[in-house]
Amino acid sequence: MLYREVGQFKTTYAADMAMFPIRQDRVALWLVLLVAFVGIPMLSANQIWPFGSDYLLRAILMPFLILALAAIGVNILVGYCGQISLGSGAFMAIGAYSAYKFGTGVSFPLPFAGFDVSIPPLPMLFSILLGGLMAAFVGILFGIPSLRIKGLYLAVATLAAQFFFDWVFIRVKWFTNYTPSGSVNAPELNFFGFLVNSSIEKYLLCLIFVTVFAFIAKNLVRGNLGRQWRAIRDMDIAAELMGIRPLYAKLTAFAVSSFIVGVAGALWAFIYLGSWEPLAFSIDRSFQLLFMVIIGGLGSILGSFLGAAFILILPIMLDQVPHALGVPISVETVSHLVFIVTGSLICYLLIVEPHGFAQLWSTAKEKLRLWPYPY
Amino acid sequence: MIAFGQFTEVLLGGLLAGFLYSLVALGFVLIFKASGVFNFAQGAMVLLAGLALVRSLDFLVAKGFPYWIAVVIALLFAAAIMALTAWVIERFVLGPLVNQDGLTLFMATIGATFIIEGAAQMAFGSDVYPLRLFPTDAIFMFENTFPGGILVNKLDLWGAAIAAVLVAGLAVFFQYTKTGRALRAVADDHAAAQSVGIPISWIWFVVWLVAGLVALVAATVWGTKLSVQFSITFLALKALPVLIIGGFTSVPGAVIGGLLIGAGEKIAEAYLGPYIGGGIEYWFAYVLALLVLLVRPQGMFGERIIERV
């Protein structure tokens, strides 16, 4: 009754191509954006529960937004183009360290040319975007094997990127500006004179990035490029016979995906962590992102958000439950229990809904259209 | 100038370490051959087997059992635990996922990895437990061929011997037994195998059991080398390039891949490491695997992938 598109006629071509063709979806989207952009900052400014302290902003909402952005990037590659990647952590690291280098000034000697190349510290926004571009560039390089390698073999091949860059950022001191401990501090978050300091400002910054990139991604995947990706995913040989260039389609998927993941990495390092070491982008991060995409739903932007929320919030909830119930369990046992429950839930979800939360949502939509009079 | 004796020592050390990698890689190959599942849980299974073994062994020795009897009982106990794990995984994780695509099954095994890691550490503890089943002292070999001889660890020799026996046994099992043939049929096509009357759930149980036993063997060697601890699960990641080079579907490939990786890694570390900063062991295997894949996308010994529209 509430969710029914009866009577919504498309009278213009623009309406026919709308991103959200159903009015209820549009309303829901505006409501979510309103809550995120206006509601939460207002609650936070007035210290209303649950935003009394900035724990919720700092420890849940910020990582959720950034990881959702990274999950969108991974989803473009894995969900839309069908190229499994276990190297997303490395691309986050490349984004983070490149942005750090551009933000603090790059200089390296060119012995054969006889002079030094040096770039002064760039504004923060450009550093972050350049970090994404560097990640995209490396992504294309590591995407080249995908032209020959498929499926799980490719997944293992992308691990090469992960381990190689883990090593590079630990060993090559140039990337960390020769800090003795190997951990680096983000430069101050100066956006054209506007300093981002408090939790709520950082949250809004993440939100702007995520919203912009989510819209870009949503439009990319339903456009020409997205159709090429999906054709390659469904059957690459058939797609090639139909005139889609696998080289172009696969490498653009790697580039776009790595760009978004790289930007997410820069945000993760600069805004969420503040100071970080290479371990922040280890193989565990890659797996976490892949989980988000699979649990959320392959080939769905909404799914990326749902998956990120689930994978991020589940361990935090599980950590809190025994405390809340007053059960005395040692910290070690709790961490083992979190492992077991997370694993079981992943298996359970894969069994009951192999296509992830996004599929659950579209099933629910089908049900809602007929509600309350299903035939 | 590279001394030939030193080179041989590095090469031999690498080859023997390679045998140990193949021990882990074998478990992957078995499950992939028989069920088309890329089993990420193999590393966790090594951890579980190792923990079950070392904890029960310590317990029995503390109770005053003679050492060899304690070892036998502990091995049997660990084998029983692996059988239980195989049954649980088949019954509750893979059984309901029959006929899903490879990626879903792969993710399910990652879920299983979490469960096994959590449960193993909860049941058997999460400290570092030393295991002493094999001698670990180094000996000199070929002393009359090379000046000073070559330093070789006895444990590595044991590992190599065990891997050789295991591979021979598995090859016979796959080629000549009825169950082995059924396993290969299931790997080829789940539905077709079911339709000719192969009980798929039993086959999968057998496969996971065998993989569990291989994990137990790997745990005895690796546990002696590194002590039984959580970081032993990372062996799974170390075994992946071995698989790539050997091909997912080839048992001898797993061994040859292991040898190549082991030797290549040690030689690269010894002769390339000083120039570009140490620790290249960390990624060398993966880059080597990547290069092999660019030439042969199905690995060196994998079955040729034929695709039709």
Provide ipTM, 2 decimals: 0.80
Per-residue pLDDT at B34 exceeds 80 = no
DSSP single-letter state for residue A223? S
Q: Which of A163-167, B75-79, B265-269 has the highest mean pLDDT?
A: B75-79
Q: What percent of chain A has pLDDT over 90?
A: 35
Query: Is B111 in contact with B119 (CB distance < 8 Å)?
Result: no
Q: Which of B106, B108, B286 sits opposite A160 (nearest CB)?
A: B286
Residues of B in contact with A338 (CB under 8 A): 118
Question: Looking at the domain assignment, is residue A307 inside a domain?
Answer: no
pLDDT digits (tens, 9 = 90+) for A208-247: 999 999 999 999 999 999 999 999 998 888 999 999 999 9
Residues of A in contact with B305 (CB under 8 A): 150
Residues of B in contact with A287 (CB under 8 A): 110
pLDDT value at residue B278: 67
Residues of A in contact with B97 (CB under 8 A): 350-351, 354
User: How many angstroms from the chain centroid is the CA of residue A36?
Assistant: 18
Instruction: Report the alpha-carbon distance of residue A20 to residue A26 in Å, rounded.
Output: 6
pLDDT value at residue B147: 61
Q: Which of B93, B122, B282 sits opposite A163 (nearest CB)?
A: B282
Q: Which of A145, A338, A354 sits opposite B100 (nearest CB)?
A: A354
DSSP single-letter state for residue B152? E
Residues of B in contact with A164 (CB under 8 A): 283, 286-287
pLDDT value at residue B69: 87
Q: Which residues of A284-311 are buried (b: 16+ CB within 10 A; e: fewer)?
A: ebbbbbbbbbbbbbbbbbebbbbbbbbb
Residues of A in contact with B104 (CB under 8 A): 294, 350, 354
CA distance B297 to chain A (A): 5
Residue B293, amino acid: L
Q: Which region among A182-196, A209-223, A238-252, B66-80 has the lowest average model confidence (pLDDT)?
A: A182-196
Other CB atoms within 10 Å distance of the CB of residue B153: 18
Mean pLDDT value across residues A301-326:
84
Q: Which region among A81-95, A299-313, B2-16 has the lowest average model confidence (pLDDT)?
A: B2-16
User: Which structural domain range is residue A132 located in?
Assistant: 55-280
List C-alpha distances in Å: B254 to A193, A221, B55, B157: 58, 40, 30, 18
CA angle (B9, B14, B20) in 5-degree steps: 135
CB contact under 8 A, A343 and B118: yes
CB contact under 8 A, B110 and A291: yes
Q: Which of B108, B294, B298 sits opposite A347 (nearest CB)?
A: B108
Query: Is B156 in contact with B132 (CB distance < 8 Å)?
Result: no
pLDDT value at residue B145: 63
Residue B148, amino acid: G
Mean pLDDT for chain B?
A: 82
Q: Which chain A residue has the Cα nearest residue B118?
A: A336
Q: Which region among A302-306, B61-65, B78-82, B151-155 has the lowest average model confidence (pLDDT)?
A: B151-155
Per-residue pLDDT at A116 exceeds 80 = no
CB contact under 8 A, B114 and A346: yes
Query: Residue A253 — pLDDT band, cuts 50, 70, 90?
Result: very high
CB contact under 8 A, B93 and A347: yes
Which residues, listed in sequence order, are joined to residue B138 by a DSSP beta bridge?
Answer: B153
Residues of B in contact with A148 (CB under 8 A): 293-294, 297
Residue A87, amino acid: G
Which of B51, B103, B117 should one mutate to test binding to chain A, selecting the residue with the greatest count of A CBs within 10 A?
B103
Question: Looking at the domain assignment, is residue A310 inside a domain?
Answer: no
CB contact under 8 A, B122 and A336: yes
CA distance B190 to chain A (A): 17
Which of A81, A86, A156, A335 should one mutate to test binding to chain B, selecting the residue with the greatest count of B CBs within 10 A?
A156
List C-alpha distances in Å: B211 to A342, B98, B218, B292: 24, 19, 10, 26
Instruction: Report the alpha-carbon distance of residue B185 to residue B86 in Å, rounded.
Output: 20
CA distance A338 to chain B (A): 8
- Residue B309's Cβ-count burial label (10 Å; 0-12, 13-18, 19+) is exposed
Question: Looking at the domain assignment, is residue A297 inside a domain?
Answer: no
Q: Residues 6 or more apart from A275 whose CB is under 8 A from it?
A: A183, A184, A185, A186
pLDDT value at residue A73: 96
CB contact under 8 A, A156 and B298: no
pLDDT digits (tens, 9 = 90+) for B128-149: 888 877 777 777 766 666 666 6
Question: Looking at the domain assignment, is residue A39 inside a domain?
Answer: no
CB contact under 8 A, A337 and B92: no
Both tokens assigned to A169 = 């950022």
**In the Cβ-directed half-sphere of B153, how many Cα atoms lie within 13 Å?**
18
Per-residue pLDDT at B1 exceeds 60 = no
CB contact under 8 A, B118 and A354: no
pLDDT value at residue A34: 95
Q: Which chain B residue has the Cα nearest residue A356?
A: B104
Per-residue pLDDT at B2 exceeds 60 = no
Question: Looking at the domain assignment, is residue A87 inside a domain?
Answer: yes
List C-alpha distances in Å: B277 to A94, A97, A231, B267, B280: 20, 20, 44, 14, 7
Mean pLDDT value across residues A90-95:
94
pLDDT value at residue A85: 87
Instruction: Report the alpha-carbon distance of residue A156 to residue B297 in Å, rounded.
Output: 12
Q: Which of B96, B113, B286 sits opposite A164 (nearest CB)?
A: B286
Per-residue pLDDT at B307 exceeds 70 = no
pLDDT value at residue A48: 79
pLDDT digits (tens, 9 = 90+) for B216-256: 988 888 888 878 888 888 777 878 888 888 877 777 788 88
pLDDT value at residue A62: 92
CB contact under 8 A, A333 and B122: yes
Which residues, listed in sequence order, are joined to residue A110 by a DSSP beta bridge?
Answer: A115
Question: Looking at the domain assignment, is residue A300 inside a domain?
Answer: no
pLDDT value at residue A309: 92
Q: Which chain A residue has the Cα nearest residue B120?
A: A336
Residues of A in contact with B114 (CB under 8 A): 339-340, 342-343, 346
User: How many angstroms from the chain centroid is the CA of residue B30?
Assistant: 10
Instruction: Report the alpha-carbon distance of residue B287 to residue B191 in Å, rounded.
Output: 37
Residues of B in contact with A146 (CB under 8 A): none
Mean pLDDT for chain A?
A: 87
Q: Which of B97, B116, B294 sits opposite A351 (nearest CB)?
A: B97
H helical segments located in chain A: 13-16, 23-34, 40-45, 55, 62-75, 88-104, 124-143, 151-171, 199-222, 224-234, 236-241, 246-267, 283-296, 301-325, 331-352, 356-370
Question: Looking at the domain assignment, is residue A92 inside a domain?
Answer: yes
Per-residue pLDDT at A284 exceeds 60 = yes
Question: Looking at the domain assignment, is residue A372 inside a domain?
Answer: no
Residues of A in contact with B289 (CB under 8 A): 156-157, 160
Query: Is A99 in contact with A130 (CB distance < 8 Å)?
Result: yes
pLDDT digits (tens, 9 = 90+) for A344-374: 888 888 888 878 888 888 888 888 888 887 7
List C-alpha distances in Å: B8 to A31, A312, B268: 70, 50, 14
What are the DSSP calls for A344-367, one per residue? HHHHHHHHH-TTHHHHHHHHHHHH
CB contact under 8 A, A172 and B277: yes
**3-class DSSP assignment, residue B153:** strand
Residue B283, amino acid: W
Which of B107, B280, B284 should one mutate to test binding to chain A, selecting the residue with the greatest count of A CBs within 10 A?
B107
pLDDT value at residue B144: 61
Q: What domain count does chain A have?
A: 1
Residue A328, amino acid: P
Residues of B in contact with A149 (CB under 8 A): 293-294, 297
How many Cβ pairs closer than 8 A exist between chain A and B?
A: 134
Show the beta-strand stretches assigned E in B8-154.
Answer: 138-141, 150-153
pLDDT digits (tens, 9 = 90+) for B44-56: 999 999 999 988 8
The larger pLDDT score, comparing residue B284 to residue B309, is at B284
Q: Which chain A residue has the Cα nearest residue B247?
A: A153
**3-class DSSP assignment, residue B138:** strand
